[in-house]
């Protein structure tokens, strides 16, 4: 790792993030950048910085990146912690996700935390209900060393307590933040993108086999019989890790199925990494947003959070985060791996404008509380407390 490029001491709370960073295509990088942008607007904060975890590839980072850690180099983790200890950093924010850090199940981040003498919080982006012994140990010990741990789903708080042995007073729940982007109306965006008079369904994010897109395609083969104007848009590139290992096998299989079902006019793929503005436009343009994921235990979905944040009608499979976020009439839950169930829900929305309007209203009520200008204020309070009272346990 290069020596930390720390600016001279200035007034204001100094926070340093640890995780992936732009321009690496990664959900954690987006999350960190969004939070950093908002925290920088608080008068008592200096602009946050980040130590970027690297996966062997070179990235053209911005000035916010003050250091780099090679994912599989333990010395980089230890040296980074030692260097942070010599700075006037007030608080560190560790973004935790399995697969980001080196060592068995990412154990090197635990070595970093154990060597750190700056108080830190850890944000758990995944909380496994059935962890391996090593996964459980890492999260339990990481939590023990931290000032607080954060989850983005209330349904994961019992797991943190009962499986990982974290005391309730150490856990905070904060929604996944959603960026605020000004955009045109649904109909204006449909016109601009060339889809006037279409009923648009969409999914965005990295494409991978666990996303369940094939079941929506199967459902569309029946939906279009009564709603030929229906258009399902799948936005996003194949997940970089999947693409390195398997190429475009999954995307090509989906495209072949679209051709077999003669859905070329009703299902399209946009193979690009969307800017934040494009993500929001894709959502606002949508009549229905779908997350037909296959994994029941998914604790958090950033894409579902975005859908809620912009008040879209959401149809999802009943993974844990979806159950929580779509309760109270904010969306519809289809069965896992069940195209007929998806079809029924899609047609319910298309055929009942009053149901659609009611769900959008209820979803937007929650969504307005999830924008980063709200969520960052919660984190700012937590970081202030951590900086003032935190200590290495």
Distance, in Å, from the CA atom of 347 to the CA atom of 349, rounded to the nearest integer, reads 5
Query: For residue 222, what pLDDT is reported?
Result: 98
CATH number of the domain at 63, please. Answer: 3.40.50.2000
H or E segment to which residue 148 belongs:
strand 148-151
**244 in the same domain as 259:** yes
Q: Angle, nearest 10°, between helix axes 302-309 and 27-39?
A: 50
- DSSP bridge partners of 92: 16, 120
**151 in the same domain as 47:** yes
For 206-222, what is the mean pLDDT?
96
CA dist list (Å): 295 to 241, 301, 360 = 18, 11, 25
Confidence bin at 392 (pLDDT 50/70/90): very low
Q: How many CB atoms lie within 10 A of CB 39?
A: 22
Query: For residue 7, what pLDDT is reported?
Result: 56
Structural domains counted in the chain: 2
* 20: nearest Cα among 211, 241, 220, 172: 241
Q: What residues have CB less than 8 Å from 318, skipping those under 6 apart? A: 296, 333, 334, 335, 336
How confident is the model over 241-253, as pLDDT tens digits? 899 899 999 999 9
Joined together, the tokens standing for residue 102 give 């080196």
Q: What residues have CB less than 8 Å from 262, skipping those under 6 apart? A: none
Q: What residues have CB less than 8 Å from 53, skipping those under 6 apart? A: 18, 19, 20, 68, 69, 71, 100, 101
- DSSP bridge partners of 94: 18, 122
Burial class (CB in 10 A: 0-12, 13-18, 19+), 213: buried
Query: For residue 14, what pLDDT is reported?
Result: 97
Joined together, the tokens standing for residue 93 give 């924010």
For 217-226, what is the mean pLDDT?
98
**331 in the same domain as 207:** yes
Which residue range is the domain that position 105 belongs to?
15-177+372-389
**379 in the same domain as 364:** no
CA dist list (Å): 112 to 108, 229, 311, 316, 375 = 6, 54, 40, 38, 27
Joined together, the tokens standing for residue 203 give 């999914």
**336 in the same domain as 190:** yes
pLDDT at 8 over 60: no
In a domain, 10, yes or no: no
Distance, in Å, from the CA atom of 79 to the CA atom of 149, rounded to the nearest integer, reads 24
**120 in the same domain as 44:** yes
In a domain, 328, yes or no: yes
For 101-128, what is the mean pLDDT?
97
Confidence bin at 300 (pLDDT 50/70/90): confident
Q: How many CB atoms lie within 10 A of CB 63?
A: 9
Q: DSSP states of 178-241 as a string? A: B-------HHHHHHHHT-TT-EEEEEES-B-GGG-HHHHHHHHHHHHHH-TTEEEEEESPBPHH
């Amino acid at each position: 790792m290069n020596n930390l490029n720390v600016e001279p001491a200035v007034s204001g709370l100094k926070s340093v993030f640890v995780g992936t960073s732009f321009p690496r295509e990664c959900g954690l990088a987006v999350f960190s950048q969004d939070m950093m942008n908002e925290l920088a607007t608080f008068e008592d904060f200096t602009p946050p910085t980040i130590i970027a975890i690297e996966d062997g590839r070179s990235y053209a980072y911005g000035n916010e990146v003050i250091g780099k850690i090679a994912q599989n180099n333990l010395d980089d983790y230890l040296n980074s912690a030692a260097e942070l200890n010599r700075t006037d950093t007030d608080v560190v924010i560790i973004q935790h996700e399995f697969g980001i850090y080196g060592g068995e199940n990412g154990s090197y981040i635990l070595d970093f935390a154990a060597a750190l003498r700056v108080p830190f919080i850890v944000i758990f982006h995944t909380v496994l209900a059935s962890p391996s012994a090593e996964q459980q140990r890492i999260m339990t010990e990481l939590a023990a060393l931290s000032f607080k741990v954060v989850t983005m789903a209330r349904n994961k708080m019992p797991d943190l307590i009962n499986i990982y042995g974290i005391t309730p007073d150490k856990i905070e729940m904060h929604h996944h933040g959603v960026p605020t982007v000004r955009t045109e109306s649904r109909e204006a965006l449909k016109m601009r993108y060339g889809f006037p008079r279409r009923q648009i369904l969409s999914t965005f994010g990295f494409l991978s086999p666990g996303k369940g897109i094939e079941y929506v395609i199967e459902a569309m083969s029946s939906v279009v019989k009564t709603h030929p104007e229906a258009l399902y848009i799948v936005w996003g590139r194949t997940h970089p890790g999947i693409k390195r290992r398997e190429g475009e096998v999954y995307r090509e299989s989906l495209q072949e199925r679209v051709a077999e079902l003669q859905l070329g006019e009703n299902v399209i793929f946009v193979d690009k990494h969307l800017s934040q503005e494009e993500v929001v436009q894709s959502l606002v343009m949508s009549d229905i947003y779908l997350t037909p994921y296959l994994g029941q235990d998914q604790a958090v979905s950033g894409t579902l959070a975005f859908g809620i944040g912009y008040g879209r009608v959401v149809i999802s499979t009943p993974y844990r985060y979806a159950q929580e976020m779509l309760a109270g009439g904010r969306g519809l839950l289809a069965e896992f791996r069940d195209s007929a169930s998806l079809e029924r829900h899609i047609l319910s929305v298309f055929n009942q404008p009053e149901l659609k309007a009611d769900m959008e209203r209820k979803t937007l009520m929650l969504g307005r509380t999830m924008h980063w200008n709200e969520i960052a204020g919660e984190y700012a309070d937590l970081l202030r407390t951590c900086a003032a009272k935190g200590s290495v346990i």
